[in-house]
Structure 1
Amino acid sequence: MDFELNEEQRDFRALLRAFVDKEIVPVARDWEHSGRYPTEIVDGFKEMGLFGITVPEEYGGLDLDPVSFALVFEEISRGWMGVAGILGSHSLACRMIAMHGTDDQKRRYLPGLATGERRTGIGLTEPDAGTDLQGIRTTARLEGDHYVVSGTKTWITNARYADPLPVLVKTDPATTPAHKGMSVLLVEADTPGYQVTKDIPKLGYKGTESCEIVLDDVRVPASNLLGGVEGRGMQQALSALEWGRVNIAARSVGIAQRAYDEALAYSRQRRAFGQPIGDFQAVQIQLASLATTLQAARLMAYWAADQVRKGRADAQTGMAKIFCSEVALESAISSLKVHGGYGYSTEYEVERLYRDSVLMSIGEGTNDVLRTVVARSLSRGDVKVG
């Protein structure tokens, strides 16, 4: 067994780490608190080609392997988890188009998406349908050579920049089971009736917008039906969410790493009773636990990413997302404890890490729902433990 990154992955991580330390770490706290959009960071993503990490090389992308994909989100989240969201939804949508799009759709959209000239996201969640995607109410009826789309989407990352936005709809609402009547349409931002109505205020996950979108009789060309065949929308969305769970697991590792870094640095700097607090056994135990669970989470995330490389890995990515997201929260809380009262202050990084970590157990499927996904896979024998 090889638990090490290969040379190419190590070099790539070093490049990412240098960018994060120079361009993200120094500004993250102030920009997050002020609500400033990270335009310069986005420009850096473009220069590094990061908008093309899931786009095939023939369309100008990097087409990263899943472990290198995980490294992107781990390193960026170490600096500022919120801005990782700018690449997250974009990358999953690009992969969905690359995997399932028609040749025409790939030619039209992927080159611009790879450079960041175009950006995108995924329009799945609705006010009454989050984890239960089969419960969506957005419909698309075919009229001639256009679909007429009506509905509302919410919590859509990159909504104000997405063009096109893949939107999950019901093209046959009467079909049972419901997923057989679901499709994905690529909706362009300037289409009449398509409106981003509001930004949703959030506890954390700032730096990128999360919005509500209203589609009021939006006419979408039939040529923008992803893959050109109705009824495959759920399958197409789930194929992207598998990579999405690797994304969240890796973001969680990035948060946990920063929490550990901040706790360790503070334990060396802060003095009490005439000595650094890191000399006290209670603090040493916190640091040792932080480091141990952090490394376990990192290995879990890379393992799950490697399983994706080998084929479908619902259970493995579910396990990694569950474990890593819970480590992120535990690490943030432990780091808060090491900081004491200062950990509660917005002058220190750790309070932001805590706010960002909470989302990790919710995004890409709640942990409780993912536990049922893992359990079903175990019962079917799809994955073995031991």
Structure 2
Amino acid sequence: MDRLLTPDERAHHRRMLTLVLDRWQDQAHTWESGALLPEEVVTWTAEQGLLGAPLPAQVGGGGWNAIEAGLLYEALGRVSISLASLVNVHGMMAQTLARWGTPWQRENVMPALGAGKRVAAICMTEPHAGSDLSEITTTLAERGDDLVLNGTKVYITFGQRADDLLVFARRAGRSEACLVSRDAPGVTVTPMGDMLGLRAAGLARIDFEDCVIAPEALVGKPDFAVPVLVPTALEHGRHAVAWMALGMLEACFDECARFVRTRRTFGRPLLEHGQIQTLVTRMGADLEAARHLCVAASRAMQDKAPETMRSVLLAKYFVCRVAQEHTASAVQLLASSGVSERSVTARAYRDSKVLNIIEGTEQILERTLAPMLVGTAGAAR
């Protein structure tokens, strides 16, 4: 990784690794039984300025650039995808509000989000609407002088903990979004347990029944939510998930490297067996490619380059796909120690499947990437 970064970026990366790993590496395996990060961890994340770090400084955030934010997500991903997801979903909501919110929202809502005093989540998915958000049935309807929100959202990451929610709905056939406080009348939060991965990410079902929405809580213009707000949130989320998956894969490779250097089987070091060499080489080569794609995506975002969307999609697509493949290989290689819940590989094996679904499944990303890649083929001739 170091040779892809400037000296300042390398120093930032080392600070992030020291900050996150020294504090939490030995405790992360204990979090998942509670289905939600301990409040101590959420408070620490806010106090360290990590929740607001990627947000613009003018709205109270840390003003970190995309590389700095990516390196944070990589460090968090080495320890816990649930912890990284706390920062990610907060950023998805807050970045969207920072870009498209009203002056009132920037003045009255953003400061607490930037400082990490309030935790944010984003409510898109419904029981019958996931990848295709045109199918959402949550409604905003006029009732007298009021706007009233009704509907159900599911699999809301940190829905059990978030203070402020950005909710996507339909109003007279148009997509709209609004801010809702979790303690508003008519909001019911129900924990969703027994998850394959992200077991400490506080997933929740959130029901909205006749929630009165003030006019100043509307975000963006009419019919703005799905075509404009969603892509803003997803670009942030896909960039973050790619780096999170990279950190997870780095941790798995480190664990595998320690194991094959010290373990002996059939009279030889494990690393001298051809099958093991194949597993390790493929994992290491894909890890190197993943680093390049993540850095390229961040550089494109920082430069506001025309290829930003393509670069972010490629990073998310490739890194999450190879993470799923190689975390399975890591469990196989580590054998009995790889299936222990104390092992980073066991958690990574479960979390990798979830990362390959959230913020766009492999198949959804292929629908966009395939025409992009074919369209640029032969362009250099």
Tell me, yes or no, whether TM beats 0.5. Answer: yes
TM-score range, shorter chain: over 0.9
2:369 to 361, 374, 383: 374
Distance 1:233 1:380, change over 3 A: farther
Comparing 198-207 with 103-112, greater Cα deviation is found at 198-207
Comparing 196-205 with 90-99, greater Cα deviation is found at 196-205
Q: Are the aligned partners of 2:245 and 2:319 in contact in 1 as well (CA < 8 Å)?
A: yes
| Count of residues paired in the alignment | 377
Q: Normalization by structure 1: what TM-score?
A: 0.91
- Which residue of the partner structure matches residue 154 of structure 2? 154
Distance 1:383 1:162, change over 3 A: farther
1:3 Cα deviation from its structure 2 partner: 6.3
1:346 Cα deviation from its structure 2 partner: 2.8
1:201 aligns with 2:189: no
- Which residue of the partner structure matches residue 365 of structure 1? 360
- Which residue of the partner structure matches residue 320 of structure 1? 315
Q: Are the aligned partners of 1:138 and 1:151 in contact in 2 as well (CA < 8 Å)?
A: yes
Structure 1 residues 58-77: Cα deviation after superposition (integer angstroms, max 9, x where no partner): 23211221222211111101
Residue ranges of structure 2 left out of the alignment (5+ in a row): none
- Which residue of the partner structure matches residue 274 of structure 2? 281
- Partners in 2 of 1:348 and 1:123 — Cα distance? 32
Amino acid at match of 1:100: W
Secondary structure, aligned partner of 2:358 = coil
Query: How much is the aligned-residue C-alpha RMSD, in angstroms?
Result: 2.2
- Partners in 2 of 1:41 and 1:47 — Cα distance? 10
Comparing 47-56 with 296-305, greater Cα deviation is found at 47-56
Amino acid at match of 2:212: R
- Partners in 2 of 1:382 and 1:194 — Cα distance? 50
Distance 1:168 1:34, change over 3 A: closer
Q: Normalization by structure 2: what TM-score?
A: 0.93
1:232 aligns with 2:224: yes
Q: Are the aligned partners of 2:37 and 2:82 in contact in 1 as well (CA < 8 Å)?
A: no
Structure 1 residues 206-264: Cα deviation after superposition (integer angstroms, max 9, x where no partner): 2211110000111010111013x221111112111012111111111111111101101
1:350 Cα deviation from its structure 2 partner: 1.5
Q: Are the aligned partners of 2:338 and 2:345 in contact in 1 as well (CA < 8 Å)?
A: yes
- Partners in 2 of 1:303 and 1:53 — Cα distance? 20
- Partners in 2 of 1:241 and 1:384 — Cα distance? 28
1:131 Cα deviation from its structure 2 partner: 0.3
Q: Are the aligned partners of 2:148 and 2:210 in contact in 1 as well (CA < 8 Å)?
A: yes
- Partners in 2 of 1:32 and 1:126 — Cα distance? 24
1:378 Cα deviation from its structure 2 partner: 4.3
1:314 Cα deviation from its structure 2 partner: 2.6
Secondary structure, aligned partner of 2:120 = coil
- Which residue of the partner structure matches residue 178 of structure 1? none
Secondary structure, aligned partner of 1:74 = helix
Distance 1:303 1:110, change over 3 A: same
Structure 1 residues 32-68: Cα deviation after superposition (integer angstroms, max 9, x where no partner): 2454633332222122211112322123211221222
1:6 Cα deviation from its structure 2 partner: 2.3
1:293 Cα deviation from its structure 2 partner: 0.7
Amino acid at match of 2:363: D
Amino acid at match of 1:154: V
Amino acid at match of 2:217: N
Secondary structure, aligned partner of 1:50 = coil
- Which residue of the partner structure matches residue 334 of structure 2? 339
1:294 aligns with 2:256: no
- Which residue of the partner structure matches residue 129 of structure 2? 129
- Which residue of the partner structure matches residue 249 of structure 2? 256
Q: Are the aligned partners of 1:54 and 1:92 in contact in 2 as well (CA < 8 Å)?
A: no
- Which residue of the partner structure matches residue 241 of structure 1? 234
- Partners in 2 of 1:383 and 1:9 — Cα distance? 34
- Partners in 1 of 2:358 and 2:286 — Cα distance? 21
Distance 1:152 1:384, change over 3 A: farther
Amino acid at match of 2:187: Y
Secondary structure, aligned partner of 1:370 = helix
Amino acid at match of 1:198: P
Q: Are the aligned partners of 2:35 and 2:202 in contact in 1 as well (CA < 8 Å)?
A: no
Comparing 60-69 with 292-301, greater Cα deviation is found at 60-69
Q: Are the aligned partners of 2:310 and 2:369 in contact in 1 as well (CA < 8 Å)?
A: yes
Distance 1:145 1:166, change over 3 A: farther
Distance 1:246 1:137, change over 3 A: same
Distance 1:41 1:356, change over 3 A: same
- Partners in 2 of 1:137 and 1:304 — Cα distance? 34
Distance 1:162 1:42, change over 3 A: closer
Distance 1:308 1:36, change over 3 A: closer
Amino acid at match of 2:204: C
Q: Are the aligned partners of 1:83 and 1:206 in contact in 2 as well (CA < 8 Å)?
A: no
The equivalences for 1:52-71 within 5 A come to 52-71=52-71
- Partners in 2 of 1:328 and 1:378 — Cα distance? 22
Secondary structure, aligned partner of 1:307 = helix
Amino acid at match of 2:164: P
Secondary structure, aligned partner of 2:31 = helix
- Partners in 1 of 2:341 and 2:203 — Cα distance? 23
- Which residue of the partner structure matches residue 22 of structure 2? 22
- Which residue of the partner structure matches residue 297 of structure 2? 304
The equivalences for 1:173-188 within 5 A come to 173=173, 181-188=174-181
Amino acid at match of 1:230: P
Amino acid at match of 1:373: T
The equivalences for 1:43-54 within 5 A come to 43-54=43-54
Secondary structure, aligned partner of 1:215 = strand
1:25 Cα deviation from its structure 2 partner: 1.0
Q: Are the aligned partners of 1:318 and 1:371 in contact in 2 as well (CA < 8 Å)?
A: no
- Partners in 1 of 2:259 and 2:122 — Cα distance? 39
